[in-house]
Structure 1
């Protein structure tokens, strides 16, 4: 069973959704047969490489939200994140374009480190105030993940993996995805948003049953007990 997850490393609900999905997957009896693939998505592709302002200022000025409304949203999301063991610090968030970070995730995927890269980027962005658009930061992250230094350096001298990121964007549009996180199971089931773990569990079970239906063989030949008792 293949699960594709469209998300942006600059999306606070995407990290919460990741945790809730992971909780469900950890309890799923067929988890070893599940392939998880992270897909790229950008909430604001027009964002400059670096934005000179806070997250509150960014949402207030570029998104047209009232500062009080933004602060209230921060409090709500922070509380939801805390319930998943995450420590969001919106006052320290560095607003930056996430395109190169997504390219790094694609590079990491080539070396079996996709989930580790996604996890670090989300945590560093929302919990540790790291600049996810900084070449220095992304280079250091690549080193921490054990990626080849020359391959990481190519992210800043070439457009390698840019087409892969854009392909994910196009796939999202084709599937009608307009917000993240968005979870797609075997291209048959779609779940939008940071759903409760119970919802993910139900979706995993339903998808598994439809993909691996129970086949009954020679049902008329064997003796069995039923509502009216057992045969003599």
Structure 2
């Protein structure tokens, strides 16, 4: 059996381009496999866009851009409207008027727990939707536990892991690895530990990158 191509993706659940990039990668993956490509294993890794945000603190996204980034209100709204339109092009419905910006360290810990339970993609999708569509407070442990339970995890296990810091070292290891790779923005895709693809690229870029890895495996 052909060994799966590994795709490691550094992402943050408050990064609008990360969900968009995920959809574009999935389209590229589907095209690759429709052309006879083999299995691909995708793993999400932690990246903090705003590590200085206070854990548990939440504020409207537009307000965050104005207060923390020094962006004028009209410019902030223009930026959000633009990315909302791009998200719609890949079938995502963003509602930034509800989104509450927050620190994401706890969310990343939940994603590591989910990976160990075979539910990382389901939990990641739920957290994206919770943030960009539903206005849920994803920096709150109880809210995170509820969301994770909706995606198939045990709520009490999530709360225990967050209380005990079970996955803090895993999050830190992801962040250290991102620094070692020189990653300065997300999404960032690493194919088979050799090739990097930065940003929410067109599906064809991802298809070609996967095909290159597959072709080089045959030639090796």
TM score, norm. by length of structure 1:
0.88
Query: 1:71-110 residue pairs with structure 2 within 5 A?
Result: 71-110=77-116
Determine which of 11, 28, 40 is the counterpart of 2:32. Answer: 28
Change beyond 3 A, Cα 1:195–1:9: same
Matched, 1:48 2:54: yes
Who is 1:201 aligned against? 207
Would the aligned equivalents of 1:100 and 1:155 in 2 still touch at CA under 8 Å? no
Determine which of 3, 7, 25 is the counterpart of 1:3. Answer: 7
Structure number with bigger Rg: 1
Change beyond 3 A, Cα 1:147–1:53: closer
Would the aligned equivalents of 2:188 and 2:196 in 1 still touch at CA under 8 Å? yes
Write out per-residue CA displacement over residues 140-177 of structure 1, whole angstroms, 9 at most, x where no aligned residue.
12222332343212133211101000100000000000
Q: Distance in 1 between matches of 2:66 and 2:156?
A: 39
Q: Distance in 2 between matches of 1:31 and 1:160?
A: 37
Q: Report the CA distance between 1:6 and its aligned residue.
A: 0.2
Determine which of 42, 45, 49 is the counterpart of 1:39. Answer: 45
Matched, 1:146 2:152: yes
Who is 1:67 aligned against? 73
Determine which of 84, 94, 117 is the counterpart of 1:111. Answer: 117
- Where do 4+ consecutive residues of structure 1 move more than 6 Å? none
**More helix per residue: 1 or 2?**
2
Q: Distance in 2 between matches of 1:143 and 1:82?
A: 27
Q: Distance in 2 between matches of 1:101 and 1:52?
A: 14
Q: Which runs of 5+ in 1 are unaligned?
A: 215-232
Determine which of 120, 123, 136 is the counterpart of 2:142. Answer: 136
Q: Which runs of 5+ in 2 are unaligned?
A: none
Write out per-residue CA displacement over residues 165-213 of structure 1, whole angstroms, 9 at most, x where no aligned residue.
0100000000000000000001111111100111111111112111222
Q: Report the CA distance between 1:79 and its aligned residue.
A: 0.4
How many residues align? The count is 214
TM score, norm. by length of structure 2:
0.92
Q: Distance in 1 between matches of 2:58 and 2:178?
A: 29
